[in-house]
Structure 1
Amino acid sequence: MIAESILVRGRHVLTSATPAVVDDGAVLVVGESIADVGPYDELRAAHPDAGALGGPYDIVTPGFVNTHGHFSEGLLAGIGEQYTLGEWIHGLINPIAPHLTRAMAYVATMLSGIQMLRSGITTANDMFVCEPRPEPVTPAVVTALDELGLRGVVSFGAGDLRSAGEVAPQLAEHEALREAAAASRLCTFRVGIGAVGGQSDKLFAASADLAVRGGHGVHIHLHEVREEVTATRQRFGVTPIAHCAREGLFTAPTLAAHCVWADRADRDLLARHRVGVAHNPVANMILASGAAPVAELRALGVDVGIGVDGAASNDSQDMLQAVKATALLARVHHLQATAMTAREAFEMATIGGARALRMAATVGSLEPGKAADLVVFDGSSPALANVHDPYEAVVYVAGSREVKDVLVAGRPSVADGDVVTVDVADLVARSRPLARELVTRAGLSHLSELAR
């Protein structure tokens, strides 16, 4: 039985709001929302009957907001390391897309979602990339997220040029996912555009119209690699960002993944149109895409969050690795130890990501009235035995094993380090024949020991 109110205690409560830190503090959760944040002694005295979570040496934070990923890759972790992005798309993603089924979508989402929750993610912005089938595939993503207790912003990565398909099935998959999200407790829908170069003019226009007229947000890849920018210039005479702005796509709230190769004019357009950016440092390094101009974007007022990206490109689904990599890549890129602080990386992973998704009124910080999405880091672990600076402890020191408890909308999704609604061993066993079937049907047996 879940208590009507819960008092979540921490030696350090990092709010991503004002005040930024409450020492020996607590968060009062009532129902699905945060009712108060303040000193533990005061809140305990005022609410003696509240349930208890956390402890005097723990660190309490907002749930992390993963601003970009692909549950469609959940069965493909650790494969094809030799590919750069273009090779990876043609050699791995395109062959896989026609063979993803609803059963695969469900299990892949569960596998990735468990890893996300264990690393403190409470909101995941996803783009599921597949070919439409007679039975829509993507609603299984919503089913899995609801079962896991993981908040989702879900989209279908439409791209009719991948298989010279028709526009109608692409739109039908959008609609099926929209309906599933509308019936969900935790999921909301966005219009997915795989990439400008992956859509016909007809589908791009239909996608923009669906987003703008339907009042939906947009999730799109932009300027991930230089070749993408060059190809779009040759096709349209402008960069992908400029094309989206010219065609009115940015009229809808837009989250753009990567933006590695955005020049000053592109960055100005992103700022002018309030386009949020998902920075994916681990995937960008694995695929040799480059380092995004995070400092320049943030200086212009662009809201930048952090993404783990998909399991075929990261390949981990661990947000703490991505947050640490965000800070470290900035230091290497600028050859300066002060290029990004732990607090800045932490804020990008929480309220920055929420702002990038236009969700800051609901998630991303610990404030009264917001959703009770929060994480408790275990202060009794060896890694966090001696916390000299709580931000550095979370960003540089903590790993997923330090994530003790996770609440999403006031309900426990992780307790004592593991998910509460899923038989993990059973799920893992179910995943293996599906992964084997997927790589075999896609003709990728040469890349996978499972298929041999």
Structure 2
Amino acid sequence: MRTRIIGGLVIPVTQSGLWYENGHVVVEDGRIVAVGPGEGPTVPGEAVVNAAGKYVLPGFVNAHGHAAMALLRGFADDLPLMDWLQKKVWPIEDRLTGEDIYWGTMLALLEMIEGGTTTFADMYFHMDRVAEAVAQAGVRGVLSRGIIGTSPDEGRGAIRESREFARRWHGAEGGRITVTLGPHAPYTCPPAVLRQVVEVSAELGVGIQIHLSETRSEVEQIVASHGKSPVDVCAEAGLFERPTLVAHAVHLTEADIDLMARFDVRVAHNPGSNLKLGSGVAPLPKLLQRGVVVGLGTDGAASNNNLDLLEEIRLAALIHKGVGEDPIAVDADTALALGTREGARALFLEEGAGTLAPGAPADLIFMDGSGPHLLPLYNPISQVVYAAKSGDVTDVMCDGRWLLRDRQHQTLDRDKILFHVGRIVEGFTR
């Protein structure tokens, strides 16, 4: 099927300041084949979709999260990270079954699709069930089985499961599912375990995602134990010899940033979660100045408490202006790119992903531009970043397939998912 989208305000996110006020996007066989002003040359037999009054832009990319933690939204609020993890989250996670994880992921996918997210990264457990949810929903997923092990023996089971998961799912669903290895963090995976992860990463030809330098206390603990920063620990374990995405990267030294830039380490910036947990504010402008590739993540809904990537785009633009007392620290073009094109780069996806460019995967969204909060219109990129709401999303396409049409899900049964989530959560209180 070839589909021509016409009449919308097209923001391709291929370069700063570019949009087509009355543009077209042509999709065929899951790929974008044409983008530009006007309606473009038509082809007999193609379907035509009129997007008049709407923004057309790439789907959002959520570069870090734990989708099934949507089940724990509001369960443990207003706590520092270690208390949140050790006293609240880890104990209840021990009770979660594969079935729980499946429906929790489905709940997250409902929310992400309705908010315009077409690609997400995930690190959790029972990951076969997560992959099943991704396959059914039709989104793009970069999935890791989380690995925690304070010794090689303790981590061996999770690493074995990770290897098996990668062999089953890496490249599945026509390439929509990518598998990476997921060592949780240097404080839960010491160097000996990280070295095992590096070996398996090379063996399987897959990348790595890890939490890194999220809190000041974590960094102090690693320095006290190893005499060096968490970034140095990862580098010396060989992690950065593999394609690596680090989540958070809040407490970095200048030497850390230089090392990450040298090894082309990618970063998932999670402004909302970092603020809520009191972890601090990552040095985003410095990372960008050094050429580090940075995407945006929501983290899990237990620490955010939503999966609204558009909110993270706005936060990324606003926080760094305030912290640096610099109104141009992160401009609207940069913020939107972080949530789309640069997020795809952070996840090591193919060239063009996260944009509306010929040859790119056909992952795109419509946003209704008629609301009073979006009028008048002077600069549509600024309007999306500073004024739009995730509820403005009306239509979502991933891999050339409609997932949401006129705010109605095409691949997921909303009522069924909410029923099962309610049943699971009732069990938490028993």
Normalised-by-shorter TM-score class: over 0.9
Structure 2 counterpart of 1:119: 115
Aligned residues: 427
2:358 to 360, 368, 383: 368
Mark the runs of 5 or more structure 1 residues left unpaired by the alignment: 131-136, 440-450
Whole-angstrom distance in 1 between the partners of 2:313 and 2:409: 21
Name the aligned partner's letter for residue 34 of structure 2: D
The aligned residue for residue 176 of structure 1 is 164
Shift of 1:309: 0.7
Q: Map 1:19-418 to 2 at 5 A.
A: 20-41=18-39, 43=40, 45-47=41-43, 49-128=45-124, 130=125, 137-161=126-150, 166-182=154-170, 183-185=172-174, 186-418=176-408
User: Residues 246 and 10 of structure 1: is their aligned pair in 2 closer, same or farther, counting only changes over 3 Å?
Assistant: farther
CA 1:362 to 1:380, structure 2 compared with 1: closer, same or farther past 3 Å? same
Answer with 422-431 or 267-276: which moved more: 422-431
> C-alpha separation between the residues in 2 aligned to 1:285 and 1:401?
23
Q: CA deviation at 1:78?
A: 1.3
Q: Which moved more, 1:312-321 or 1:379-388?
A: 379-388
Separation in 1, partners of 2:99, 2:81: 27
Contact 2:191 2:234 (8 Å CA) reproduced: no
Partner of 2:4: 7
Alpha-carbon offset, residue 10 of structure 1 = 4.5
Tell me the distance in 1 between the aligned counterparts of 2:271 and 2:2: 38
CA RMSD of aligned residues (A): 1.8
- TM-aligned CA distance change 1:391 to 1:40, over 3 Å: same
Q: Secondary structure at the match of 1:78?
A: coil
Asked if structure 2 preserves the Cα contact closer than 8 Å seen for 1:9 and 1:53, the reply is yes
Change in Cα spacing, 1:394 to 1:104, as seen in structure 2 (3 Å) is same
Alpha-carbon separation, structure 1, partners of 2:219 and 2:92: 25
How high is the TM-score relative to the length of structure 2? Answer: 0.95
TM-score, normalised on structure 1?
0.90
Q: Distance in 1 between matches of 2:57 and 2:168?
A: 30
SS state at 1:80 partner: coil
Whether the aligned pair in 1 keeps the contact of 2:248 and 2:282 (CA below 8 Å) is yes
Contiguous gaps of at least 5 residues in structure 2: none
| Separation in structure 2 between the aligned mates of residue 111 and residue 47 of structure 1, nearest angstrom | 39
2:154 maps to amino acid: E
* SS of residue paired to 2:94: helix
Partners of 2:314 and 2:50 in 1: how far apart? 24
- Alpha-carbon shift at residue 321 of structure 1 (Å): 1.2
Which residue type is aligned with residue 390 of structure 2?
S
Residue deviations 1:114-168, cap 9 Å, x none?
A: 111111111101111x4xxxxxx21000100111111000001100239x97333
- The structural deviation recorded for 1:11 is 3.8
SS, match of residue 197 in structure 1: coil
How far, CA to CA, are the matches of 1:273 and 1:10 in structure 2? 43
Distance 1:10 1:376, change over 3 A: farther
Q: State the Cα deviation string for residues 6-56 of structure 1 (Å, max 9, x = none).
A: 112354211111583222111100110011111233x2x433532123423
Q: Does 71-80 or 277-286 show the bigger shift? A: 71-80
**294-303 vs 31-40, which deviates more?**
31-40
Q: Which residue of 2 aligns with 1:445?
A: none
